[in-house]
Structure 1
Amino acid sequence: MVAFPDNERCDIAGRYEPEGAENHEETEAKSKDATKPPSRCIVWRNVILMFLLHTGALYAIILIPKAHPFTWIWSYTCFIVTALGITAGAHRLWSHRSYRAKLPLRIFLAVANSMAFQNDIFEWSRDHRAHHKYSETDADPHNAVRGFFFAHIGWLFVRKHKDVIEKGKRLDVSDLLADPVVVFQRKYYRTSVVVMCFLLPTLVPWYFWGESIWISYFLASILRYTISLNVTWLVNSAAHMYGNRPYDRNINPRENRFVTFGAIGEGFHNFHHTFPFDYSASEFGLRWNPTTCFIDLMCWLGLAGNRKKATPEMIKARKLRTGDGSV
């Protein structure tokens, strides 16, 4: 995702405006054009790159039968590591502080997050906190009210709404800046992405079992990366539109089993937005929740602790008060 330059902004309709360029004549002109369909601040670089990425992923599918079985296993392993870098790392640990992780685990999750290539931990966590605090408003980076396409991928194709910038600056991110792992990863993010997202996944199959570098690159890097992106985006789109709301019928996020399966436990979204502090992001513990299994394993190994959990009494009371009556 492209950062929003300080000297550029979009108005509420999404139009581009240089800072300080507005004058009386322009204001008058805008009022006359108010009925015209709004233009968008399209980030064409992102549009082109995403088109090429998805085209490469489609091409990679035809290479699957030609790949060594170990390459399939390796690609899926990289997908799981990629997912944990987001779910257990940027999301549940750094965005919500739903559990604590010791230094070795934080380093692993930061490395996995670089393999995910979805912005560095600081930016991902800051935007996610804005998503929760200002959910389904113009200050939400991927506001689902603007439609499935926008919530899924379209938000990357346009400049951030000015409310995302302005209200995002009010968020307390001091805890992120106080974590040396977060600061280090942010400083060397580009290098870490090249190594972890592209070089390592490609070179391992080529070096260890003689896989074609071409097949290795398209399967373990391009296809794996594209799938991981879309799985994450489905939490922003499908899980905000399709499913039931047993915990809070007054908010858009839903319980979506399809997303839960693909996003290794992140589809219990009505629960998560109702109880964002819960480390499991679900009422059901380990059920369909590999991320919770991973965190529990890390706690058993002594690498994590202080897991926060909504109590059964708290959950039951909330269901009765604001739930939609579904299970």
Structure 2
Amino acid sequence: MTAEDLSTGHTAIGSDPALDSKIKNYYTPARIIGTDYTYKHKIVWKNAIGFLILHLLALWGLFIFFTGGVGIKTALWAFFILFISSEGITIGAHRLYSHKSFTATPLLRGILLTLQTIAGQNSMYIWCRDHRLHHRYSDTDADPHNAKRGFFFSHIGWLMSKKHPYVIELGKRIDMSDLEADWMVMFQKKYYYPLYALFALFIPVWVPVQYFGESFKNSLLVCYFFRYLFQVNGTWLVNSAAHLFGTRPYDQNLQPVESWFVSWLSFGEGWHNYHHTFPWDYKAAELSMHFNVSAIIIRWLEKIGLAYNLKTASTEMVAKRIIRTGDGTHYALGNDDAKARVTAIGPLHPFNPSYTTKYEAPGANLNDQGLPLFHEMDVINVNNKNIKRNFTKA
């Protein structure tokens, strides 16, 4: 085969068929991954009916809760389980395992895996694979919960539908070698359903019955169905509302937004424009003094020796990104014109769920490789001890 053959895309007569295939793939134009609005997702009816039943049972549990059908100890227990399982998602599945924004001791990893199991959002391995895929192909057809499909789809509809072919195909290319090398993660993946039955269903329901004198029915409806559906909807709002209603002070080219309301419900996961701009930051936000309980807990875990190597973006890096790509709504580095283009249904306050910018949402058309997990290369240790260069696969 000559240089001319390669330059023209022609292959020499009698070449190896395997080489022919490689050359064909090499010269195939890169795909553009966007949102094909003519594509119709096929509904998986058993999932749709299942979620309907779960929500009806959760509403029954909510009614029992607010009408005084359970005692104060049971109510506090339900919120305790809700809180710790939510942190199993935010600190464990999201900030530790998906983004490796800090390092955890084996003891902490085991605790977070248990708490993530209680949350009932699939195994740690599958949760992280889907989330890494979400970041690499955010708001395209390769994103499992593509917000371009609307609020309902990105919130819960994606769990009621067959996966888009891009989600299946490109999901297989996501690098999961770090989780595959973690025996605890793979143990949980293998035995997820019995572990879920024990930690998410049996223990939360059994404790009030055994120790607080609750009836099995009320404990099941409040401590399982109501607790689980309230918690999981908080997580889903990060996929839906935090991609649709808010501002983009860090990167106006990214669909995700900053949402006070979602941050309050999800213990700090709603500062989503920042998070997609700097996904490796353990805070998942620029600031952590308001509506970011998860960041406070991670720093506490560092103090007691269970977490270390916390990664964050330097003040200078954040400021440069705001000036270069922000939409002008940043609280300190924004401008009055951009801030005047914010609207809401009702009170114009950031805590209003409908608080959003009038700017049109950016498009999302990515090449076949998608976005990197690390949007910036410089990662500075939270204690300012050293600076690292990171070239991490998603």
Q: TM-score range by the shorter chain?
A: 0.7 to 0.9
Letter in 2 for 1:57: A
Structure 1 residues 149-202: Cα deviation after superposition (integer angstroms, max 9, x where no partner): 000000011111010111111111100101111011101100111111111110
Q: Secondary structure at the match of 1:66?
A: coil
Aligned-pair distance for 1:273? 0.2
Where do 1:24-35 residues align within 5 Å?
A: none
The alpha-carbon distance between structure 1 residues 250 and 202, as it changes in their structure 2 partners (threshold 3 A), is: same
Tell me which structure has the larger Cα radius of gyration: 2
1:124 is aligned, of 117, 123, 127, to 127
1:159 aligned residue: 162
1:222 is aligned, of 221, 225, 234, to 225
2:235 aligned residue: 232
1:43 aligned residue: 44
Q: Quick check: 1:264 aligned with 2:267?
A: yes
Q: Quick check: 1:84 aligned with 2:94?
A: no
1:30 aligned residue: none
Where do 1:77-226 residues align within 5 Å?
A: 77-226=80-229
Q: Quick check: 1:60 aligned with 2:61?
A: yes
Instruction: Tell me if structure 1 keeps the 8 A contact 2:41–2:164.
Output: no
Larger mean Cα displacement after TM superposition, 62-71 or 274-283: 62-71
CA distance in 1, matches of 2:62, 2:159: 25
Aligned-pair distance for 1:286? 3.6
| Structure 2: stretches of 5+ with no match in the other structure | 1-37, 332-394
Letter in 2 for 1:247: Y
Q: Quick check: 1:252 aligned with 2:259?
A: no
| Structure 1: stretches of 5+ with no match in the other structure | 1-36
TM, length-normalised to structure 2? 0.73
TM, length-normalised to structure 1? 0.87
Identity %: 46
CA distance in 1, matches of 2:164, 2:90: 25
Structure 1 residues 101-132: Cα deviation after superposition (integer angstroms, max 9, x where no partner): 11111111111111011110000001100000
Aligned-pair distance for 1:91? 0.4
Q: Secondary structure at the match of 1:247?
A: coil
Greater fraction helix:
1
Q: Secondary structure at the match of 2:47?
A: helix
CA distance in 1, matches of 2:101, 2:40: 40
Letter in 2 for 1:323: G
Aligned-pair distance for 1:296? 1.0
The alpha-carbon distance between structure 1 residues 201 and 41, as it changes in their structure 2 partners (threshold 3 A), is: same
Q: Secondary structure at the match of 2:320?
A: helix
Q: Quick check: 1:321 aligned with 2:324?
A: yes
Structure 1 residues 205-257: Cα deviation after superposition (integer angstroms, max 9, x where no partner): 11112111111111111000001110000000000000011100111100000
Letter in 2 for 1:312: T
Structure 1 residues 246-296: Cα deviation after superposition (integer angstroms, max 9, x where no partner): 100111100000000000000000000000000000111242111111111
